[in-house]
Amino acid sequence: MEKMIYLKNVVTLQLNEKNCSGCGICMVVCPHAVFSMNNGRVRIANRDACMECGACAMNCPTDALTVQAGVGCAAAVINTALGRDGACCCVVETPGDSENIRGKICC
Amino acid sequence: MNQPFIIGSVHTTTGDIPKISSDLRWPDHWGSIKARWGVGRMHYTVDPGLYALGAPGDRSPVLVTANYKMSFDRLREALPERNAWILVLDTNGINVWCAAGKGTFGTDELVRRIEFSQLNRVVSHTELILPQLAGPGVAAHKVKKRSGFKAIYGPIRAADLPAFLDAGLKATPGMRRKTFPVRERAVLIPIELVSVLKWSLVILPSFFLLGGLGAPSGFWHGAMNDGLFAVLNLLGALVAGAVLTPILLPWIPGRAFSQKGLVMGLITTLFITLFGAFNLNIRQDYMNILAWFFLAPALSAYLAMNFTGASTYTSLSGVKKEMRWAVPLEIVGGVAGLTLWVGSRFVS
């Protein structure tokens, strides 16, 4: 399987090693194997593979990880910039609001 | 709600719980196909709540999923001959990963659904198996604190669940990696095409007819040659951006999706120009030909850029960075191409 990496040096993922307890839950939830374990401490081994989904920060019990989580979807960025809500992936339709469902489809 | 996948019920201390089959029937497959093409996709739901797969007892595992019918089907079809409880969260009919990103597949909904379904009275253990991709929405440690249930992250793909369960709830590294193989990329193409269908129905006939306007050789001759050439180029851009780029994604040079789309757009334009030069009576002026080397790649770059949302590895920071140069370039390319094309109508 070819390895897919998006743009380099853009990701907002931050690890505060002082807070890390080494529980490893971030390694469990990360879908792109961004982390590795070193002597009972987690480190960011593959930063550019991060897609900022936010799973690691959400599940870190000691708040050692921060990331500006979001969906990497151009249509969502455009919709947000144009002030349209709904946007992209995971559009939730509300009754009588057919404009939202038309949105770009991610996922 | 009409839920034909329910095949009976299982009696528990909390009442009867609907029993479901792991067999998918043709309405299930047909439903998946329709959803892939955007038909009824936003209403393709399952009632939230607890379901019994097979004949589960109080020690059977509890698997959590979203109430998007396709997510639900992937889960149950992965577990033939197994007994398990399936807890379906209300995610407004959105799949697990997207719903987790939006927070609807989240800690609050999970805790609420555990209480509603009186799960603590149905099972004698306190473990839940969540899809790994629920991670962006669920904080496992908070679920434990608030509900008493321990949320265990299972594999990304439902198909790996039997191996995960048999290994004593252990996932291999491969089960934890989200890949994006060609098959997964290909099934996302229809929805990309459907999203541009409405525009195509207006734009394609317009260019065809405009190709005939003011043609020195007569309207139909113009439409059938320059108009057709325009339509072919636009279709080429569509195929380059929304079909070829997704399929060939890892092999096209560049990391930014717009760049990949641009490359594919230039290639298809080149082929269509050669085809037009030999098979159509197009006007041989440079403006008419050059126009499509701006317009078509700009369009395919834009379409490819939109595929970031469907991909499984693009970050929001990356997409924003890409868009800062790609969107202006796409607009400039589009306007330049259009100006050249319209201009060429007046030069004879």
pLDDT digits (tens, 9 = 90+) for B133-188: 999 999 999 999 999 999 999 999 999 999 999 999 999 999 999 999 999 999 99
* Contact check, Cβ <8 Å, B92/A92: yes
Cβ contacts from A onto B, under 8 A: 171
d(CA B231, CA B237): 10
Whether pTM > 0.80 for this model: the answer is yes
In tens, the pLDDT along B18-27 reads: 999 999 999 9
**Closest to B159 in 3D by CA, of B41, B22, B44:** B22
List of chain B residues whose C-beta atoms are within 8 Å of the C-beta of residue A4: 180, 249-250, 311-313
Of A25, A88, A101, the CB nearest to B309: A88
Cα of B74 to nearest chain A Cα, Å: 15
Chain B residue whose CA is closest to A71: B316
Q: Which two tokens stand for residue B47?
A: 């009632």
Cα distances (Å, whole numbers) of residue B312 to A25, A74, B207, B316? 21, 13, 35, 12
Cα of B63 to nearest chain A Cα, Å: 16
Check residue A1 and give its pLDDT.
Answer: 42
Averaged pLDDT of chain B = 94
Determine how many CB atoms are found less than 10 A away from the CB of residue B232.
Answer: 23
* Contact check, Cβ <8 Å, A6/B38: no
**Which residues lie across from B127 on neighbouring strands?**
B150
In tens, the pLDDT along B268-298 reads: 999 999 999 888 888 777 888 999 999 999 9
| Mean pLDDT to the nearest integer, B103-124 | 96
Chain B residue whose CA is closest to A53: B136
Cα of A90 to nearest chain B Cα, Å: 5
Query: String of b and e for B108-136 (b: at least 16 CB within 10 Å)?
Result: ebbbbbbeebebeebbeeeebbbbbbbbb
Contact B272, B282 (CB under 8 A): no
List of chain B residues whose C-beta atoms are within 8 Å of the C-beta of residue A21: none
Of B94, B177, B308, the CB nearest to A73: B308
* Contact check, Cβ <8 Å, B313/A5: yes
Which value, to the nearest 10 degrees, does the dihedral of the CA atoms of residues B261, B39, B130, A37 take? Answer: 0
In tens, the pLDDT along B292-317 reads: 999 999 999 999 999 999 999 999 99
Check residue A100 and give its pLDDT.
Answer: 36
Contact B260, B254 (CB under 8 A): yes
* Contact check, Cβ <8 Å, A1/B42: no
